[in-house]
Amino acid sequence: MKQRNSWRKNVYILAVCNSFTAASYTMIVPFLPLYLMELGADESDVAVYSGFVYAVTFLIAAIMAPIWGKLADSKGKKIMGMRAVVMLAITYLVGGFVSSPEGLFGMRIIQGFANGFMPMAMTMGSCFSPQSEIGYGLGIIHSGMIFGSVVGPLIGGLVSYLVGMRNSFYVAGGALVFLSFLYWFLMDEPPTAEERALRDGEPLPKPTPASEKTAAKKTSIIDDLVYAFGNKKLLAILFIIFSTNLANYTLQPVIALHVGALVGSAGNVSLISGIVFGLGGISGAIAAAKWGKFGQSRGFFRALAYAFAGAGAFVVAQYFAPDVYVFGALQFMFGLFFMGANPAAAALLAKSAPAEFQGRAFGLSSTANQLGGMVGPLFAGFVAAAVGVAPLFVITGVTLLIYGAVMWSYREKEQ
């Protein structure tokens, strides 16, 4: 059967696509505070401005994610992935033309409607991968995303250093135009629940009241939300995903500012910030697939516990970093642990949602992601304005340690 032999090919293509989308994102978004200053924002207000510029995209994406997920279940997952890639390409090209902080805010509003490729890639990966390989398959796809997260800041910092930050938007948009052709012509449509059962040698799924209730063509968005909130395991995993992104985006908007404070006038802040961001991505790319295998064999809640605890310890240590070299080394160690959270959470999500609800489940995971991404920057902006950037590393690190302890308490309950 074709799907039996091609699932690895499709997983690897999704990993490459995730690399492109992540690179296009990270070559731009971590530097938005610096771009705001270039567009005329006052340096004393840039932390608060950054919070709103980051948050608006996540707010809109959170609202739209269940809609995109529902359309993926009813209209096809491949076409919805294409929708996200094309809209993102347009968004980044628009970003190169803005001339004010208000214009950048508008571009980020448009980007909120464009988001959704990465959760769609995880949805498709969970469909392509056999149940016995789902941790590995999602780990590979996540590794692709992390690789893109490595090269993105490096490319963005270098382009900004050589020809200006504005041109980073044009490079990102052009890369996604190329990706749209790669994706459309090489990617298969994911198998249906029946095709997956035949491939994996499992009994064909029979219509049940639950499957009828969750069929995409027979439910409204409200019905889907009611079902999700009634599924306690699914709801708990969505909260884990929210918490993970909350921690991530509490730090991401201010790392460039903190690096700038450590560097002073000794060098180009955008280039050095890109290198620091890249260090966390390098370690994450090294570790992501191994975290997927670890979760598959030892339990995904155990993997989450280790990932959160290790990441939290190194974030707290960053508060005490005396210079950018120590800070960068700690960022590398942070990425080694923190990137283990995403494939573990994705695998748990895939296991907790029925086959006919997969697209909507990952759409809701995107909503949880976006809500975390919305709250984190706003929290960071107001805390940074009140007490400075550095204390955010202690606050975030302690929070991650608490997450780790909670996940450890659930390690024996996984089935």
Q: What is the pLDDT of residues 347-361, one digit of tens each?
A: 788 777 776 676 677
Q: Fill in the DSSP letter of residue 189.
A: P
Find out whether 173 and 90 touch, Cβ atoms under 8 Å.
yes
User: By mean pLDDT, which of 79-88, 197-206, 267-276, 315-324 is the weakest?
Assistant: 197-206
Amino acid of residue 34: L
Query: Would the CA dihedral through 167, 173, 178, 182 be positive or negative?
Result: positive
Of all residues in the chain, what percent carry a pLDDT higher than 90?
16
CA-wise closest residue to 145 among 169, 125, 165, 160? 125
Residue 1 has pLDDT above 50, yes or no: no
Greatest alpha-carbon span in the chain: 66
Q: Fill in the DSSP letter of residue 194.
A: H
* Higher pLDDT pick, 104 / 229: 104
Would you state the pLDDT for residue 3?
A: 46
Distance CA 334, CA 221 (A): 37
Distance CA 190, CA 125 (A): 8
Mean pLDDT rounded to a whole number for the chain: 81
* Higher pLDDT pick, 211 / 117: 117
Helices (H) then strands (E): counts for the chain: 18, 0
Residue 405 has pLDDT above 60, yes or no: yes
Of all residues in the chain, what percent carry a pLDDT higher than 70?
89
204 band by pLDDT with thresholds 50, 70 and 90:
low
Radius of gyration of the chain (CA): 20
Distance CA 293, CA 146 (A): 16
Distance CA 394, CA 313 (A): 9
Average pLDDT on 306-335 reads 91
Q: Which residue has the tokens 């089935």?
A: 415
Find out whether 18 and 121 touch, Cβ atoms under 8 Å.
yes
Phi, psi of 115 (to 5 degrees): -60, 160
Residue 400 has pLDDT above 90, yes or no: yes
Distance of CA 172 to the CA centre of its chain: 17
Distance CA 60, CA 250 (A): 18
Would you state the pLDDT for residue 5?
A: 53
Give burial (CB, 10 Å; 0-12/13-18/19+) of 266: exposed
* Higher pLDDT pick, 107 / 131: 107
Would you state the pLDDT for residue 218?
A: 59
390 band by pLDDT with thresholds 50, 70 and 90:
confident
Would you state the pLDDT for residue 386?
A: 79
Q: Report helix, strand or coil for 40.
A: coil
Find out whether 398 and 316 touch, Cβ atoms under 8 Å.
yes
Distant-in-sequence, close-in-space partners of 223: CB < 8 Å, separation ≥ 6: 213
Would you state the pLDDT for residue 142?
A: 75
List, in sequence order, the alpha helices (H) in 76-208: 77-95, 101-114, 117-128, 134-163, 166-186, 193-200
Q: Hey, which of 136-145, 182-191, 359-368 has the most confident mean pLDDT? A: 182-191
Distance CA 277, CA 154 (A): 8
Q: Which residue has the tokens 């009828």?
A: 212
Would you state the pLDDT for residue 2?
A: 45
User: By mean pLDDT, which of 115-124, 218-227, 332-341 is the weakest?
Assistant: 218-227
Residue 127 has pLDDT above 70, yes or no: yes
